[in-house]
Amino acid sequence: MKQKLGYIFIILFWLTVSSLFGQSTAQDTIKIPAVELEEFFLALDTLEVQDSIKTVLIKQLEYEISIHGRIAEQDSLIISYKDQEILLLNEQIDLHLDRLNQVDKWHNRPIVGVAAGVLGTVLLIQALDYTLPQ
């Protein structure tokens, strides 16, 4: 019973408040000419079309930004690989120079070996020739 009475009280209160603070239609109505209203709606439609076009443009530009980010990342990777390749090639050059320094010593040359062999053979023959009985 108390709930029904509460509901009735709320309904009466709502009706009273709405009638006191409600908008009066006779005094507050503004009449807008149909031409101005149509121009407003045409302008609104134009703005909606422009907004959708700009939204598509924004999405395309965001996609291009992401592509440029990936390209920049790939470029930095390529640069780091090239730097590493330069270091490895410089190390290889140093190794070749060290090898050339070892090979180019005068006692490592083939002509020196041939000359030493011929000289050694001649000396051996001379030494054997003197030691052999005649």
pLDDT value for 72:
96
DSSP 65-120: HHHHHHHHHHHHHHHHHHHHHHHHHHHHHHHHHHHHHHHTSGGGSHHHHHHHHHHH
CA gap 134, 118 in Å, rounded: 25
CA gap 86, 80 in Å, rounded: 10
pLDDT in tens, the chain (134 residues): 667 777 787 887 777 777 666 655 555 667 878 888 888 889 899 999 999 999 999 999 999 999 999 999 999 999 999 999 999 999 999 999 988 877 767 676 778 888 888 998 888 888 877 666 66
pLDDT value for 87:
97
CA angle in degrees (0–180, nearest 5) for 63-68-74: 130
pLDDT value for 15:
74
pLDDT value for 11:
80
pTM of the predicted model as reported, rounded to 2 decimal places: 0.46
CA angle in degrees (0–180, nearest 5) for 18-20-21: 70
Helix (H), strand (E) at residue 37: helix 34-103
pLDDT value for 125:
83
Q: Are 108 and 102 in contact (CB under 8 A)?
A: yes
